[in-house]
Amino acid sequence: MYKAIDLFAGIGGIRLGFDQAFEKDIDTVFVSEWDEKAQITYRENFHDPFPIRGDLTKIREADIPAHDILLAGFPCQAFSLAGKRRGFEDTRGTLFFDVERIARFHRPRVIFCENVKNLVNHDRGRTFRVIRSIFEKLGYRIFYKVLNSKDFGVPQHRERIYIVAFRDDADAIDFSFPEAAGTPACIEDIMESREVSPKYYLSDQYLQSLIRHKKRHEAKGHGFGFEIRALDDVAGALVCGGMGRERNLIVDTRLTDFKPVTHIKGHINRDFIRKMTPREWARLQGFPDSYRLSVADTHLYRQFGNSVTVPVIRAIAEMIYENLRKSESARPEICKKDTIAC
């Protein structure tokens, strides 16, 4: 049984992918997530016998249980093209060094990280060189690849970098990233099966303001503004801020009751334009319908925009699992050295 810790856990997307890949051969022994609303969603879906810990910067390495696998979706805003891209100058960027200090103390066999595609090019590549150098000095062999979620059975164009670091005494020669998995899908495949609440449909006044906003930016040569996605196409990358929801609008003609259920200006638009629901966002990220959504929509949109695409994680985790098992068969001395998983 492999022991894992889940750092910057969010709502558990990385853990879920590893749980699916390792089936019953993995046990999460520690979770850290500072956002209280994310903690609520996490606890609704993972029933651990220990509490979720908060701010990782205030947790000593010695207070974290021994583990084989370190999972860390460390905050990406510091490196994102959509942000100020301050990198390690941003306090969120420095959280990577908490991954370093924990890995230095516990020496897990595998470290897994996910971040925005721009991490590779941030600060002319210097940021990523620092990360690689740190892992290598700690005694890890690093593999990384940018993968697109749409190649893994979900209809979302989402490019992210995935980093896998194997401790040097683990035989990682055969490790490779999956290129694709699952059946190609389109937005129609993830839509709610029944008519959704009128609250997800835009008001006519708000729609007109979006149209004016987009025209102003088009006049300046910008590509900003709302997007209506074709149902036989894929969604754009889910994001939690700005116009995150408005960049993935759809036309759903099933609405029969145009009476508003929330306070809006004007009337519900008659072009049947609506936002996707939180459940549809969950499906765009590959979360199963059994995954419980109990907090308000505003929090759910942020949580799924900040989360990961579970099928991508699962496909990578399957390759990690296969590699670990091969290493143990070929080099049983690893098991003798590591008493946690063996």
Active site residues: 76
In b/e form, how buried is each residue of 6-30, taking b as 16+ CB within 10 angstroms?
Answer: bbbbbbbbbbbbbbbbbeeebebbb
- CA–CA dist 116, 83 (Å, integer): 11
Helix spans in the chain (H): 13-22, 36-45, 91-94, 96-106, 126-137, 187-190, 204-219, 278-284, 297-306, 310-330, 333-337
- CA–CA dist 334, 338 (Å, integer): 6
Identify the DSSP state of 249: B
Q: How far is CA 212 from CA 205, 215, 221, 264, 271, in A?
A: 11, 5, 14, 18, 17
- CA–CA dist 111, 325 (Å, integer): 16
Q: Name the one residue in this structure whose structure tokens are 């029933």.
A: 47
Contact 160, 315 (CB under 8 A): no
User: DSSP states of 86-106 as a string?
Assistant: -GGGSHHHHTHHHHHHHHHHH
What is the greatest pairwise CA distance in the chain? 71
- CA–CA dist 64, 102 (Å, integer): 8
Length of the chain measured in residues: 342
Helix axes 36-45, 297-306, angle to 10 degrees: 80
Contact 47, 38 (CB under 8 A): no
